[in-house]
């Protein structure tokens, strides 16, 4: 099958979260199954044009009220099978993408012109196919930034070479929908008779994700449990009605993890690789982690790690909320070390600095580091993810693979991938709690730390059990193929 992935992020070019990992890893897995997969992403400022090949000629893209001109660059995705590489195309438009930030900057988290930036990009995806004379059977869109791809296919583009093309929209995060003033609607190039409640219209605003959910041939999200949760009023972010309406075409497919990037057997970021047969590298990773964060190099104290966006979704309120968060009492009361790397909301970054100053066993780095994220996954004993909601979550799967026991809230993909510790039998792969409250987090971390000191046999057995889990992309990629094939 010919598949075009249209996305706002893809590793190694642009990443704010797991979406970027998923787009590239799924593409590679599909290519390994023999499909012809190409990816199209914007050429953000951070992507070095010097390393790419430019396609000849400028490309004109029709948008409402005129034409935008852009350049197209290309390269092969690293890790591609040699005989069937995944080609990546970059849409280069200086005014829209020649700036710092993917969706925004710390001072302007959501660029004012985002509806136009991404409407242009979605139109450009079709023009790209015409330019390279390559027409996919499947157009696969991800989240609100490319939700207009299925919309444009349905409203106007499904003709000529696209006559038999079908569309899929994957929801990675229902919390971000791309809701903008309807004065931006004209730029999409659609007419006002296409602006109605079972589509774009959302309380007199324009909702890009909602339009995509009504337009795509099939919808899915990134875990079976989250697919169910999103159909409820509590977790549907006001779109549960749409998802119930479309439930016959809506499913959950668990993300995999890219073992070429995330495996303790080959990881270049850790001092020594390790596996279930020989765990000595894990002890070295713990030592390196403690050193990196300036903590005493004690092998006997449990290390709790986190790698996260500092956003409400990740439960940082209950953990770090000034005056009520549980991190302070966890570090004060328990014999453990707590390390974190993250970026995000300013209040939370400030609180992390403040806690680091007041607690000797709490060390946080504010920033983004691939290197440290691998070291934390490998070197920590426990990995904390108290998410408010979690469509899939990749970090807990990475943790399991590195013998680091996840402590997670029982929600979304976390519930699909972690099984709760049973004291009686020693079964399970992690520690779970239901309520997003400071005391539930406190008690569950305490439970894990207690097991670390008093049930070491259980802890070691759980580590190995987690490492043996199969989260390969191959399994999930086959489910995507089945979904593509199911569309008439
Ligand atoms: P989400 O996409 O909601 O942020 P996921 O668990 O699916 O959550 O994916 C998060 C991805 O982003 C992981 O690959 C994780 O390692 C990475 N990540 C998040 N924050 C940082 C950071 N500060 N430094 C390095 N990697 C990070
Ligand atoms: C989103 C979700 C996360 C998921 C990722 C990749 O960012 O928040 O749970 O793992 O997308 O699908």
**247 to each of 217, 227, 232, how far by Cα in Å?**
12, 9, 12
Position 107 scores a pLDDT of 86
Ligand 1 binding pocket mutation candidate from 14, 254, 373 (most atoms within 8 A of CB): 373
Place of tokens 């049973």: 422
**Separation of alpha carbons 415 and 438, rounded Å:** 20
Q: How many CB atoms lie within 10 A of CB 347?
A: 14
Positions of the chain with pLDDT under 50: none
**Residue 430 near residue 397 (C-beta atoms within 8 A):** no
**Separation of alpha carbons 311 and 373, rounded Å:** 17
**Structure tokens given for 484:** 């593509």
**45 to each of 42, 95, 98, how far by Cα in Å?**
9, 11, 5
Work out the widest C-alpha separation in the chain, in whole angstroms. 69
Strands 431-433 and 405-409: parallel
Q: Spell out the alpha helix ranges (H) of 238-343.
A: 240-245, 280-292, 316-320, 327-333
**Separation of alpha carbons 21 and 11, rounded Å:** 6
DSSP 248: G
Q: How far is the CA of 183 from the centre of ligand 1 (A)?
A: 34
Q: How far is the CA of 365 from the centre of ligand 1 (A)?
A: 14
Pick the ligand that lies closest to the CA of residue 229: 2
> What pTM was estimated for this model as a whole?
0.95
**Separation of alpha carbons 452 and 335, rounded Å:** 11
Does ligand 2 have an atom closer than 6 angstroms to the CB of 466?
no
Does ligand 2 have an atom closer than 6 angstroms to the CB of 222?
yes
Pick the ligand that lies closest to the CA of residue 395: 1
Q: How far is the CA of 450 from the centre of ligand 1 (A)?
A: 28
Closest atom of ligand 2 to 222 CA is 12
Does ligand 2 have an atom closer than 6 angstroms to the CB of 255?
yes
DSSP 86: P
Pick the ligand that lies closest to the CA of residue 226: 2
Ligand 2 atom 3: residue of nearest CA: 393
**Separation of alpha carbons 9 and 102, rounded Å:** 8
**Residue 91 near residue 123 (C-beta atoms within 8 A):** no
Does ligand 1 have an atom closer than 6 angstroms to the CB of 311?
no
**Structure tokens given for 286:** 């713990």
Does ligand 1 have an atom closer than 6 angstroms to the CB of 16?
no
- The residues with which 407 forms a beta bridge, in sequence order, are 384, 431
Position 254 scores a pLDDT of 98
Does ligand 2 have an atom closer than 6 angstroms to the CB of 256?
no
Does ligand 1 have an atom closer than 6 angstroms to the CB of 388?
no
Q: How far is the CA of 324 from the centre of ligand 1 (A)?
A: 25
CA torsion sign, 316 to 320 to 322 to 323? positive
Phi and psi for 107 in degrees, rounded to 5? -85, -20
């Amino acid at each position: 099958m010919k598949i075009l992935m249209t996305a706002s992020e893809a590793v190694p070019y642009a990443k704010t979260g797991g979406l970027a990992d998923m787009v590239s890893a799924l593409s590679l897995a599909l290519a390994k199954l023999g499909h012809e997969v190409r990816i199209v992403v914007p050429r953000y400022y951070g992507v070095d044009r010097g390393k790419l090949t430019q396609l000849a000629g400028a490309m004109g893209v029709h948008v409402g009220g005129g034409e935008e001109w852009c350049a197209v660059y290309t390269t092969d995705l690293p890790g591609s099978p040699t005989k069937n590489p995944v080609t990546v195309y970059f849409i280069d438009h200086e005014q829209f993408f020649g700036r710092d930030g993917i969706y925004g900057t710390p001072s302007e988290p959501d660029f004012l012109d985002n509806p136009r930036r991404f409407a242009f990009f979605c139109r450009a995806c079709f023009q790209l196919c015409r330019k390279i004379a390559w027409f996919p059977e499947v157009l696969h869109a991800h989240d609100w930034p490319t939700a207009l791809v299925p919309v444009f296919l349905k409203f106007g583009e499904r003709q000529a070479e696209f006559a038999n093309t079908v569309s899929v929209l994957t929801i990675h995060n229902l919390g971000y929908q791309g809701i903008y003033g309807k004065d931006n609607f004209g730029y999409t190039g659609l007419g006002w008779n296409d602006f109605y409640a079972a589509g774009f219209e959302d309380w007199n605003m324009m909702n890009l994700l909602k339009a995509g959910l009504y337009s795509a041939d099939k919808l899915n999200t990134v875990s079976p449990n989250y697919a169910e949760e999103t159909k409820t009023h509590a977790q549907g972010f006001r779109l549960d009605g749409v998802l119930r309406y479309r439930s016959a075409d809506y499913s959950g497919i668990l993300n995999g993890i890219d073992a070429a990037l995330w495996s303790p057997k080959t990881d270049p970021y850790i001092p020594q690789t390790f596996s279930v047969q020989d765990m000595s590298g894990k002890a070295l990773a713990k030592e390196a982690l403690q050193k990196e964060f300036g903590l005493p190099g004690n092998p006997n104290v449990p290390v709790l790690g986190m790698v996260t966006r500092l956003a409400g979704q990740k439960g940082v309120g209950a953990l770090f909320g000034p005056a009520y968060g549980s991190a302070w009492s966890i570090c004060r009361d328990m014999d453990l070390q707590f390390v974190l790397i993250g970026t995000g909301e300013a209040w939370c970054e400030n609180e992390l600095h403040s806690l680091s100053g007041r607690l000797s066993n709490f060390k946080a780095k504010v920033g983004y580091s691939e290197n440290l994220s691998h070291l934390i996954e490998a070197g920590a004993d426990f990995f904390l993810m108290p998410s408010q909601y979690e469509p899939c979550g990749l970090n807990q799967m990475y943790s399991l693979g590195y013998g680091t026991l996840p402590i997670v809230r029982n929600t979304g993909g976390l519930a699909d991938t972690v099984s709760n510790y049973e004291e009686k039998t020693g079964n399970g792969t992690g520690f779970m709690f239901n309520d997003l409250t400071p005391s539930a987090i406190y008690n569950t971390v305490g439970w894990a730390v207690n097991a670390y000191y008093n049930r070491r046999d259980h802890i070691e057995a759980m580590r190995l059990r987690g490492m043996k889990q199969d989260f390969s992309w191959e399994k999930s990629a086959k489910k995507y193929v089945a979904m593509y094939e199911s569309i008439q």
